[in-house]
Amino acid sequence: MKKIINNKIYDTDNCDILVSYFTIVEHPGMFCSSYVKHEAKIYKTQKGTYLRYIGRAKDTGWEDKNELTIISKDKFKKILIDLNEIEVYEKEFGKLEEG
């Protein structure tokens, strides 16, 4: 996917994929919202920018998002911690201290 963000072009075909997972996305309705699982992927550009792509809905009947956004290093760390992706975390940010 290609997208212009902040007057720069980002192309996921030229990025490294770091992690894939499912995330809950709110779909606002007229009277209430629905919460649907969508496929998500975190990419890293050659210049070190982290991108989050939210794509297809896991449940049929919902539209795919096809949304590409820049995320901060801290947001990426939080996602990895929530997913318990220790190997990816240590590869990106260094060895964690044992408790």
Chunked into runs of 10 residues, the chain (99 residues) has average pLDDT values of: 93 95 85 87 96 85 83 97 96 92
The counts of H helices and E strands in the chain are 2, 6
List the one residue out of 65, 95, 91 whose CA is nearest residue 76.
Answer: 91
Give me the pLDDT at residue 95, please: 93
Give me the pLDDT at residue 29, please: 79
Domain range annotation of the chain: 2-87
